Every structure is written in structure tokens, then in C-alpha cells.
């Protein structure tokens, strides 16, 4: 689910906006758009079940239940994206009727119910009229800062392409880091340039919250290989990975606190419950830009990392996508990790949460000011 708020002036204008709400053009999907009066409050997407499948009633209850959790929701719009031409008798009518019935039971008004097919679009409230797709595409694209609309709901979860030399250099540097941390004298036997990269990466690992905060603050393309390798080293280690995830969902002081708690845990001190809550999707709504920055960096690291090291960064991608309300992407990353390590803990947890339709509670809240949720712009005391 996403929480971008936009306005539309007509049914076709509304349909032109839905892909921007989801950051993708859905295929074989049901989309629910919660409304507060005349304003949309975001969008949520589920895969379409086969027509007439027994799961339709249960899935209808699930998606309307999710809509009810969105604050201020008093109505919903329904959009079916079906990869078939529209004709007399619109597709998935039974499923849409089930969704409409659940919405009525829950006291939600139906704003409208649409279907977009391969040859046009129509409203289930006026099924005899099929409109050309050109009515949708004729509307100017809304300007939503930082939003890229992907061609379908899964393509955004593909890892970025990297060249072979970059991947080899990344792998060598991670190996160098591990050797240098065990045998410091080994760094003296490499070239000065290589030694400088090792020292920079090791310095980042020496202060993980500072490294993670840099990643949250700098575009991924501006991070050098040493920062990415240091992040890769951390993501392979669950304790450090969890510091990164919690810090990106909160702020630098919280990252410091989690790191200290992880250190104390090794001596038998329990980790305070309030520090663990963000990992379970509880607490204040994170700054979406921090989650996105963390995800971008972890995707880059996963792309650079060889298969044997890849489950850690993929699991981080899965959790960050889940934390941002992108369940389909979270499942895709988790499944990739589990194909490499079938018992990878965090990946199993994320996939279980997604399969159960469970998202963080903050996904259903409206956007809030970072300054009101513990912004990372504050001071740091160690």
C-alpha cells in the first residue's frame, strides 16, 4: 500500500492517477483506493484470483478490512486490471460484487468500481459503456516527487544491473575487509590504493550508525565502493543488519541505542522492547525517504554481491519493502533469498507476514512530519 494523496476531476483522470498511487501499472490485479470525502488516501493492490474461485469472498473481506484500517477512510474506489478485452459482461464481476458487499457491511460508501482491460475501460456501475484507453492516457501525468511508475507490479523488485568488474571489485573488497579485521598486518601487503579502500570500509564498520546514517542521507549513486562494501559486510550479520533497519525506520540516536543494546545482549542483558518494536512494524510512521534510501542501497549491494553472500542484503530489501507497504516486492526479495538459503530467518519471517496479509501498522497512517517522529536531523551523543 502507498499513501500518496492526489486529486482527480473525472473517472478517466482518476484512472490515469492510480498507477502513480501504486508506482506501477498493475496487471491482473484488484486495486482498492480508500477515500476521505473527495480525496484519495493511497492505494492497495492484490492479485486477482481466478474468476469464480472459492477464495474470492475471503480476499474481499481482507482487502476491505485493510481499507478500514486507513485513518479517515469513509469510502473506497475499486479498480480491476484485467489483461483481456472488454465486451458485454465485464470480467471478475463476482469478485467485485463481493468487495462491494463487504464495503457496504463495513459502512464504506462505494465511490465507483472500474475495470481496465486490454481494449478499454468501463464502470461496473455502467457496464454497457466501454470507453477507449485513450481517454486515460490523454490526461497529463501527475507530478509526484520521487515517484517512478514501473510497467507492472513486480519489475521494481528486479535488482539493478551491475557490470562484472564492479561486482568483482566489490567482492575483493569485502574479502579484504574480513581479512583485515582478523589480521591487521595483511593490509600492508596490498597496494596503497587498495589499502585506502580497506581502511575507509573498516572505518565505516567501526561506527555502524554513522555508516547507516550516511546511506540514509546520500543518494546511492554517490556512495563509493568502500561504503557499499562496509554495508554489505554489516548486512551479512543479523545484529548489525537489524541496527540498520531500525535506524532507517527511526533516526540516528535510535540506531546508536540499538547498537549498544545488541552489544549488551551478548552479556545477557535483554534488548528493550521499545527498541525492537520497529522491526515488528510498530511505532511511529517512518520517514519514507529514509526507507527508500536504505532500500536503494541494499538493492545495489545485493546486485553486487555473489550468491553465497546475497541472502543478507536481499532480506534487508524484503524488510524495507514490507516496511514501506510494498508487500509484493517484499515477497519477491524474500523468495530470492530463500532460494539461496532455504532457512534464512528474516526472509522466512517477512514472507510469513506477507502471506498472512500483515503490514506494519504505520502503513495505515497518514503522512507525518519527520520532525514529529524523531527526525535524524537532531544531534547525536555517544
Q: What is the pLDDT of residues 25-40, one digit of tens each?
A: 999 999 999 999 988 8
Confidence of residue 180 (pLDDT cuts 50, 70, 90): confident
121, 251, 279 from 146: Cα distances, Å: 28, 21, 25
Q: Which CATH class is domain 11-132+140-153?
A: alpha beta
Please state the rounded mean pLDDT for residues 42-51.
94
**Shortest CA distance to 146 belongs to which of 324, 307, 311, 271?**
324
Strand pairing class (39-40; 75-81): unpaired
Ranges for all domains in the chain classified under CATH 3.40.140.10: 11-132+140-153
H/E element holding 79?
Answer: strand 75-81
Question: Distance between CA 110 and CA 100 in Å, rounded?
Answer: 7
| Local confidence band at 378 (pLDDT 50, 70, 90 cut-offs) | very low
Query: pLDDT tens, 101-157?
Result: 999 999 999 999 999 999 999 999 999 999 999 999 998 876 666 678 999 999 999
H-run or E-run covering 122? strand 121-123
**111 three-state secondary structure:** strand
- Of all residues in the chain, the percent with pLDDT exceeding 70 is 91
The reported pTM is 0.87
Write down the mean pLDDT value for the chain.
Answer: 90
DSSP 199-232: HHHHHHHHSHHHHHHHHHHS-GGG--HHHHHHHH
Angle separating helix axes 238-249 and 252-265, nearest 10 degrees: 150
Interhelix angle for 288-304 vs 164-182, to 10°? 90
Task: Find residue 150's DSSP bridge partners.
Answer: 24
pLDDT of the residue at 297: 98
Each residue's pLDDT tens digit, 270-301: 999 999 999 999 999 999 999 999 999 999 99
d(CA 292, CA 28): 26
Q: Please tell me the predicted confidence (pLDDT) of residue 146.
A: 62
Residues 238-265 have pLDDT tens digits of 999 999 999 999 999 999 999 999 999 9
Neighbours of 377 (CB within 10 A): 10
**Cell, residue 105:** 457491511
Decide: 33 and 18 in contact? Cβ < 8 Å. Answer: yes
Residue 215's pLDDT is 97
Strand, helix or coil for residue 242: helix
What is the C-alpha radius of gyration for the chain, rounded to an integer number of angstroms?
Answer: 23
In which element (H, E) is residue 110 found?
A: strand 109-116
State the pairing for strand pair 44-47/126-131: unpaired
Please give the grid coordinates belonging to residue 17.
Answer: 492517477
**Beta carbons of 32 and 66 less than 8 angstroms apart:** yes
**Alpha-carbon distance values, 353 to 58, 109, 345 (Å):** 17, 29, 13
Amino acid at each position: 500500500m502507498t499513501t500518496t494523496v492526489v486529486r482527480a476531476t473525472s473517472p478517466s483522470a482518476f484512472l490515469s492517477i492510480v498507477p502513480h498511487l501504486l508506482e506501477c501499472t498493475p496487471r491482473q490485479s484488484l486495486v482498492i483506493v480508500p477515500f476521505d470525502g473527495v480525496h484519495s488516501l493511497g492505494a492497495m493492490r492484490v492479485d486477482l484470483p481466478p474468476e469464480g474461485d472459492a477464495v474470492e469472498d475471503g480476499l474481499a473481506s481482507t482487502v476491505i478490512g485493510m481499507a478500514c484500517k486507513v485513518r479517515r477512510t469513509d469510502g473506497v474506489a475499486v479498480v480491476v486490471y484485467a489483461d483481456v478485452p472488454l465486451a458485454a459482461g465485464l470480467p471478475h464481476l463476482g469478485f467485485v460484487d463481493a468487495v462491494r458487499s463487504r464495503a457496504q457491511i463495513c459502512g464504506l460508501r462505494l465511490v465507483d468500481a472500474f475495470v481496465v482491460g486490454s481494449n478499454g475501460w468501463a464502470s461496473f456501475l455502467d457496464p454497457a459503456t466501454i470507453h477507449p484507453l485513450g481517454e486515460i492516457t490523454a490526461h497529463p501525468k501527475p507530478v509526484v516527487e520521487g515517484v517512478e511508475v514501473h510497467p507492472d507490479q513486480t519489475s521494481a523488485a528486479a535488482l539493478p544491473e551491475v557490470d562484472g568488474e564492479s561486482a568483482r571489485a566489490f567482492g575483493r573488497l569485502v574479502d579484504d575487509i574480513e581479512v583485515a579485521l582478523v589480521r591487521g598486518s595483511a593490509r600492508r601487503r596490498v597496494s596503497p590504493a587498495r589499502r585506502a579502500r580497506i581502511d575507509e570500509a573498516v572505518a565505516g564498520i567501526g561506527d555502524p550508525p554513522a555508516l547507516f546514517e550516511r546511506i540514509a542521507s546520500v543518494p546511492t549513486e554517490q556512495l563509493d565502493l568502500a561504503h557499499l562494501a562496509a554495508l554489505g559486510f554489516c548486512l551479512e550479520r543479523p545484529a548489525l543488519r537489524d541496527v540498520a533497519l531500525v535506524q532507517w525506520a527511526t533516526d540516528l540516536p535510535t540506531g546508536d541505542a540499538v547498537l549498544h543494546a545488541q552489544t549488551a545482549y551478548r552479556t545477557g542483558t535483554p534488548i528493550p522492547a521499545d527498541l525492537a518494536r520497529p522491526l515488528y512494524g510498530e511505532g511511529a510512521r517512518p520517514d519514507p525517504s529514509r526507507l527508500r534510501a536504505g532500500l536503494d542501497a541494499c538493492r545495489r549491494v545485493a546486485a553486487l554481491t555473489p550468491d553465497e553472500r546475497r541472502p543478507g542484503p536481499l532480506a534487508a530489501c524484503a524488510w524495507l519493502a514490507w516496511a514501506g507497504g510494498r508487500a509484493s516486492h517484499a515477497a519477491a526479495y524474500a523468495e530470492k533469498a530463500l532460494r539461496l538459503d532455504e532457512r534464512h530467518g528474516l526472509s522466512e519471517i517477512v514472507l510469513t507476514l506477507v502471506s498472512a496479509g500483515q503490514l506494519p501498522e504505520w502503513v495505515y497512517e497518514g503522512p507525518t512530519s519527520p520532525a514529529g517522529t524523531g527526525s535524524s536531523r537532531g544531534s547525536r551523543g555517544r
